[in-house]
Structure 1
């Protein structure tokens, strides 16, 4: 039996009172790379926010990294986010801190105490994304692609079971998008599960994988034609 990292059954996703997606049934297994596609406004972001506890799951069943989304309490959200790595389109790096301090800030906030262990972990994840020599720089001194690499490194800090990448190439040019995608592919090869919301269809063609689509308030799997 494969390990199920994420499963939704007859789930309805709301943005405040508005129903965004209904009758969502899906499962994502350990080690999969899954795309989530759909037009702007089709519910991709609301879907992602429900998965990391920003929006409550009000109807249906849902579990993610062994936590029940339906009964998730406010105080359990930090624990959920420690088991997830989240990568945002706009990087969300702290502008007044160096790359290294951005990472240390997250480690401290998630309960790490040992300074040497924290520093070693920060260097380890930066090395994974080819940014080990840039730890002393501030975000504004980096290109968009470099900032996104740091954001991916940050997502890896607590060795997450699942990485949620919400439009991670949305602010990047095509060449840089491919470079960031290669980093995500390498991470996926180490056995980590990745769910990536995107509207960059060029990447889907270049790196075909299981694809879910948000459309008409539903989420369904799309069979990619070979190209």
Structure 2
């Protein structure tokens, strides 16, 4: 099994016809935890969108979880996404259904049919995020931190090779942010690769890890100062 989960060579990322990031060369190995930092508009979200095939890769070579990103066919995008777990800043839970139905929706959309297996999987991911008894609650009954935990549980449903987290603590207070980070680090310690965009520099100091900075169209590794 390859130790590389993501490989980008001479990649330029476009928003429509405008290059946002140029000449990216990057290797992410299995089990790594990587922060993406940079100002708003520096290209972090465009970078993540390219990885989950929301933006096509037009220039350079990209390989992710066994799929070539350049020339990726429309019909293969759902298979690529099954190997990815994506966590958003605003949780993206469906407000009109309870937590079990939110998770069921994802499993059915990705081809699960066996009822017993589905129930087992839902219990398993909720156990991982410490919310096993929340099956029948509606999203609006949960705090922001609990909603983000459910979003992380949802990202784990298909046992992804890679979790992409776009500002997962952006809408949370500092204490809740730390709790969500502790959960993500625990998931990472169990072998999952995580790439996380963040503005929260306090978290970087508290949970130091490899950091890539997005600045003026470039992506480069920064060495964190340890206090």
* TM-score for the superposition, normalised by structure 1: 0.99
Shift of residue 225, structure 1, vs aligned partner: 1.2
CA distance in 1, matches of 2:29, 2:205: 22
SS in 2 for 1:179: helix
Partner residue in 1 for 2:10: 10
Counterpart for residue 152 of structure 2: 152
- Which runs of structure 1 show a deviation greater than 2 angstroms over 4 or more consecutive aligned residues? none
**Structure 2 CA distance for aligned equivalents of residues 2 and 29 of structure 1:** 9
Provide the residue aligned with 1:223 in structure 2.
223
How much does 1:226 deviate?
Answer: 1.0
Residues 44-80 of structure 1: CA deviation (Å, up to 9, x unaligned): 0000000000000100010110100002111111001
Aligned partners of 1:81, 1:9: CA distance in 2, in Å? 21
Aligned equivalents of 2:164, 2:137: Cα separation in 1: 26
CA-to-aligned-CA distance 1:198-225 (integer Å, 9 cap, x gap) = 0100000000000001001000011111
Distance 2:154 2:86 in 1: 8
Question: Cα offset for 1:146?
Answer: 0.3
Determine helix, strand or coil for the equivalent of 1:191.
Answer: coil
Match of 2:214 in 1: 214
Q: Across the two proteins, how many residue pairs are aligned to each other? A: 227
Give the Cα separation in 2 of the matches to 1:35 and 1:120.
32
Other-structure match for 1:72: 72
Report matched runs for 1:117-136 at 5 Å.
Answer: 117-136=117-136
Aligned partners of 1:150 and 1:162: how far apart in 2?
17
Gaps of 5+ in 2: none
Matches within 5 A, 1:195-210: 195-210=195-210
SS of equivalent residue, structure 1 residue 211: strand
State the alpha-carbon separation in 2 of the partners of residues 136 and 181 from structure 1.
Answer: 25
1:95-134 matched pairs, under 5 angstroms: 95-134=95-134
CA distance in 2, matches of 1:226, 1:85: 30
Q: Tell me the distance in 1 between the aligned counterparts of 2:47 and 2:135.
A: 33
| 1:45 aligned partner | 45
SS at structure 1 position matched to 2:10: strand
For the residue of structure 1 that corresponds to 2:213, the secondary structure is strand
Tell me, in whole angstroms, the C-alpha distance in 1 between the residues paired with 2:134 and 2:98. Answer: 9
CA-CA distance at 1:2 after TM superposition: 6.0
> What do you get for the CA RMSD once the two structures are aligned?
0.9
How many Å separate the matches in 1 of 2:174 and 2:225? 22
Residues 176-206 of structure 1: CA deviation (Å, up to 9, x unaligned): 0000001100100110100000010000000
What is the Cα deviation at residue 172 of structure 1? 0.5
Normalising to structure 2: TM-score of the pair? 0.99
